[in-house]
């Protein structure tokens, strides 16, 4: 949820392995993800060592005591594990723990927008004011622009950050959040440029609820989680609660009056209300669900063939690399498609390559740092995994990424909030 965090400046500058695969149950009407068959077994030891070093370095940079990571390279193997502890001196993190998916929720909300458009429920070019009441003067903003991030609307989360800090249990009404969002100054004319804003996805969620007469939580279950077999993924009710019965503890470091970060005793935000995130960042999940969802998003597994969701991506900003664009509630980074961001207590990144099937997913348990850490760590892991040796009978895909693992490591170093532990 970018609004209550600093916006990301995307300029490029030992736990046991849990053998898990990207598969879920097969409910009625299940969706098929068209990617190469996954080699069963672990990634090679040298690749795992590089991946683990990347994650532990990012943990230190962000002040996180724990992380959960999943890397699936179909031609080589899998690495899914929990690293670190639940808190200073706490229990070990395990790979099956639940956490908040942050801005990955945006992609799921837009899955539903595109599904309903494909079914003829509405048009992507409908004005948002057609489907969300109380928006006088917003006829020039379309549903497509909400998902593309080109509406020009401002944020609500940035305004409410201090209230979220002191009262994470508060239940928010989506209409109240909408009022803050639409009152914020517009970033640009509709359709003119990308501008990161939580208000876009809040309105998209209200629109699909109006169009269907169903709650967004039910729509995510019926149209996203169930077809993909994501048994740990849902949009919770508004009552304050942890992300799951077996949750990764989530923390949020703050600065003191002198500007120093509290890295030794960060605030615990494991229990909070998902209502502040809602259609923007309210979903909870686990690492295997997140990795599978990244593959589904990248391959448009939930949508009819020929859907134009990612056909016309737009630059994220004039300062970002040309290979980093946005469309359809997701980001495209080179050949990868996915999302990244944060929710109170967690920074998340999840990306997949629709051609090779490579998928990476990670969560860090401190949301104090710049949420760009979720993207940069995922891309560092992808750069390492893309060079993993092929298993017998398989070959390494020819496709490459327009960055190196070291470039992403260097980027992460620019946003460090906590000193590394003493050697």
Q: What is the C-alpha separation between 232 and 219, in angstroms, rounded?
A: 15
pLDDT of residue 304: 95
pLDDT of residue 422: 52
29 φ/ψ sector (left φ>0, alpha ψ -120 to 50, else beta): left
pLDDT in tens, the chain (423 residues): 554 444 444 544 433 333 344 544 433 468 999 999 999 999 999 999 999 999 999 999 999 999 999 999 999 999 999 999 999 889 999 999 999 999 999 999 999 999 999 999 999 999 999 999 999 889 999 999 999 999 999 999 999 999 999 999 999 999 999 999 999 999 999 999 999 999 999 999 999 999 999 999 999 999 999 999 999 999 999 999 999 999 999 999 999 878 889 888 899 999 999 999 999 999 999 999 999 999 999 999 999 998 999 999 999 999 999 999 999 999 999 999 999 999 999 999 999 999 999 999 999 999 999 999 999 999 999 999 999 999 999 999 987 899 999 999 999 999 999 876 554
- Tell whether 122 is covered by a domain: yes
- Tell whether 423 is covered by a domain: no
- Tell whether 420 is covered by a domain: no
Q: How many domains, in total, are found in the chain?
A: 1
Task: State residue 380 phi and psi, 5-degree precision.
Answer: -65, -45
The DSSP string of 271-325 is: SB-GGGTHHHH--EE-HHHHHHHHHHHHHTTTS-TT--TTSS-EES-TTS-TTEE
Task: State residue 358 phi and psi, 5-degree precision.
Answer: -60, 135
- Tell whether 314 is covered by a domain: yes
pLDDT of residue 420: 67
pLDDT of residue 11: 44
- Tell whether 418 is covered by a domain: no
Q: What is the pTM of this model?
A: 0.94
- Tell whether 119 is covered by a domain: yes
List Cβ neighbours of 195 (8 Å cut-off, separation of 6 or more): 149, 150, 151, 152, 153, 187, 188
CATH code for position 127: 3.40.710.10
pLDDT of residue 389: 97
pLDDT of residue 340: 98
- Tell whether 422 is covered by a domain: no
C-alpha gyration radius of the chain: 20
Give the residue numbers spanning the domain of 27: 2-413
pLDDT of residue 256: 85
Q: Would you call 125 helix, strand, or coil by DSSP?
A: coil
254 near 368, Cβ under 8 Å?
yes
Q: Would you call 379 helix, strand, or coil by DSSP?
A: helix
- Tell whether 421 is covered by a domain: no
pLDDT of residue 1: 58
pLDDT of residue 264: 87
């Amino acid at each position: 949820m970018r609004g209550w965090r600093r916006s990301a400046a995307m300029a490029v500058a030992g736990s046991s392995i849990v053998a898990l695969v990207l598969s879920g149950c097969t409910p009625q009407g299940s969706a098929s993800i068209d990617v190469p068959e996954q080699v069963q077994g672990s990634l090679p030891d040298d690749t795992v060592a590089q991946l683990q070093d990347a994650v532990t370095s990012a943990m230190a940079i962000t002040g996180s005591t724990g992380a959960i990571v999943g890397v699936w390279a179909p031609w080589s193997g899998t690495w899914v594990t929990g690293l670190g502890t639940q808190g200073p001196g706490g229990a070990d993190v395990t790979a099956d723990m639940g956490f908040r998916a942050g801005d990955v929720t945006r992609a799921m909300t837009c899955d539903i927008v595109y599904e309903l458009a494909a079914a003829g429920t509405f048009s992507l070019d409908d004005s948002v004011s057609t489907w969300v009441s109380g928006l006088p003067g917003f006829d020039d903003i379309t549903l497509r622009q909400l998902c593309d991030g080109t509406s020009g609307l401002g944020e609500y989360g940035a305004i409410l950050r201090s209230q979220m800090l002191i009262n994470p249990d508060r239940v928010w009404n989506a209409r109240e959040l909408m009022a803050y969002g639409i009152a914020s100054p517009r970033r640009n004319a509709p359709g003119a440029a990308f501008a990161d804003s939580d208000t876009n996805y809040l309105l998209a969620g209200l629109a699909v609820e109006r169009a269907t007469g169903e709650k967004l939580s039910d729509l995510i279950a019926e149209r996203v989680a169930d077809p993909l077999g994501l048994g740990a993924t849902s949009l919770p009710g508004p009552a304050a609660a942890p992300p799951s019965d077996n949750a990764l503890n989530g923390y949020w470091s703050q600065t003191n009056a002198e500007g120093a970060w509290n890295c030794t005793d960060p605030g615990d935000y494991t229990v909070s209300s998902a209502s502040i995130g809602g259609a923007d960042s309210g979903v909870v999940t686990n690492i295997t669900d997140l990795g599978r969802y990244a593959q589904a998003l990248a391959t448009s597994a939930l949508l009819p063939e020929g859907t134009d969701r990612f056909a016309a991506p737009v630059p994220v900003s004039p300062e970002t690399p040309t290979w980093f664009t946005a469309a359809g509630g997701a980001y495209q980074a080179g050949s990868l498609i996915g999302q990244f961001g944060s929710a109170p207590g967690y920074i998340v990144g999840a990306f997949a390559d629709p051609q090779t099937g490579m998928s990476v997913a990670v969560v860090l348990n401190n949301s104090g740092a710049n949420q760009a850490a979720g993207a940069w760590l995922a891309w560092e892991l992808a750069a390492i995994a893309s060079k993993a040796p092929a298993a017998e009978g398989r070959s390494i895909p020819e496709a490459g990424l327009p960055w190196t693992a070291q470039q992403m490591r260097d980027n992460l170093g620019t946003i460090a909030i906590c000193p590394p532990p003493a050697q």
